[in-house]
Amino acid sequence: MTVQEKITTFDEAKAEAFATRFVDALSDAAMVLMTSVGHRLGLFDTLADNPGVTSYELADLANCRERYVREWLGVMVTAKVVDYDPVARTYTLPGEHAAFLTRAASPNNLAVTSQFIGVTASVEDEILIRFGSGEGLHYDHFHRFHEVMAEDSAQLVVANLETGILPIVPGLHEKLTAGIKVADVACGAGRAMLKLAEIFPNSTFTGFDLCEDAFAPTRIEARDKGLNNLFFVAKDLSDQDSIGSFDLITAFDAVHDQKDPQGFLKMIRASLAKDGVFLMQDIGGSRDLEKNIENPFAPLLFTLSSMHCTPISIGQGGPGLGAMWGVETAQEYLTNAGFSSLETHRLSHDPINAYFVGRV
């Protein structure tokens, strides 16, 4: 193609549309970053409880400095998140927006998820080096990852365990009530096990994770609540053939990060008792890139995969499957692990993940 032909085929309308979209994306990215700031400072919660406040009043109520609060409000007003009265110089968070931005709105609080942008951006310099070296990262590169992941999981997983997730397996609620042995592998903060231990006192629950600092606060909370049926074990499971014999094993958004995902699933299969069940939640994308194009969460998920999931796996010597390893790959890995039957479910409360049930 000649230079002249390239010039004549250039689509001005397409170029302008892309430029407009990208300017919008830049502003939206700024809004998301500042949404994380507002969430962490409790500014949205304070605004929701106190409509029509000045920047000085909001700063006083939130125990912040007015000058910083006023600049933050500038972002939120121009992003059309917060309403502004220029005469009274007051600010109001509409109820329709508060329904997705406050702690009271959980499990629909999108401000929680906004924190992942700052968490992943914090390792940008390290990722630049890894693009050249091919090396990975480790969990201690991410200063707030466990904290943010626990808060996000509290909305998607913990809040929906009893009414949304457990019913996937018929009869599981009754078995937990009667008393069975449960393990959660790569349990992170262990909030799912804490909730189940409270609901089902006749069952015993053990959370396994590589990082003891992830579940340390939950272990203390469990002790304070007198939960004698909940245990946590700090253990590297990457070279284990079995962790015991359990009636139910769960893994929430964890398998794709492992050093050896296939070996990890085989270890889980070997750790299930007769008639045992494995319940796995993982990202519900596709390994075929073209099937993800219309997924509104795909750019976010690929970013999290690029900045966290892939380098974390590589950092352990793993294959770097990434978060978008795909439902298809997950099904193949589960089948190869030796599960006699396999089911895949999608849940109405969770548009991001898929839920897999494997049986002995």
pLDDT at 3: 56
pLDDT at 1: 55
- In angstroms, rounded to a whole number, what is the distance separating the alpha carbons of residues 44 and 100? 10
Q: Where do the domains of the chain lie?
A: 3-103, 120-359
| % of residues, the chain, pLDDT over 70 | 98
pLDDT at 84: 98
- In angstroms, rounded to a whole number, what is the distance separating the alpha carbons of residues 217 and 215? 6
Q: Is the pLDDT of residue 279 over 60?
A: yes
Residues 6+ apart with CB under 8 A from 134: 314
pLDDT digits (tens, 9 = 90+) for 20-36: 999 999 999 999 999 99
Topology of domain 3-103, per CATH?
Answer: Arc Repressor Mutant, subunit A (1.10.10)
Quickly list DSSP for 109-141: -HHHHHHHHHHHHTTHHHHHHHHHH-----GGG
Residue 50 contacts residue 61 (beta carbons within 8 Å): yes
pLDDT at 349: 87
**Confidence band of 2 (pLDDT split at 50, 70, 90):** low
Residues 6+ apart with CB under 8 A from 329: 287, 321
**Confidence band of 221 (pLDDT split at 50, 70, 90):** very high
pLDDT at 214: 87
**pTM of the model as a whole:** 0.90
Please give the CATH superfamily to which domain 120-359 belongs: Vaccinia Virus protein VP39 (3.40.50.150)
Mean pLDDT along residues 46-50: 98
pLDDT at 238: 86
Its sign, for the CA torsion 317, 355, 146, 243, is: negative
Over the chain, what is the mean pLDDT? 95
Residues 6+ apart with CB under 8 A from 277: 169, 172, 247, 248, 249, 357, 358, 359, 360
| % of residues, the chain, pLDDT over 90 | 91
Residues 6+ apart with CB under 8 A from 99: 105, 108
pLDDT digits (tens, 9 = 90+) for 112-166: 999 999 999 999 999 999 999 999 999 889 988 889 998 999 998 999 999 999 9
pLDDT at 151: 94
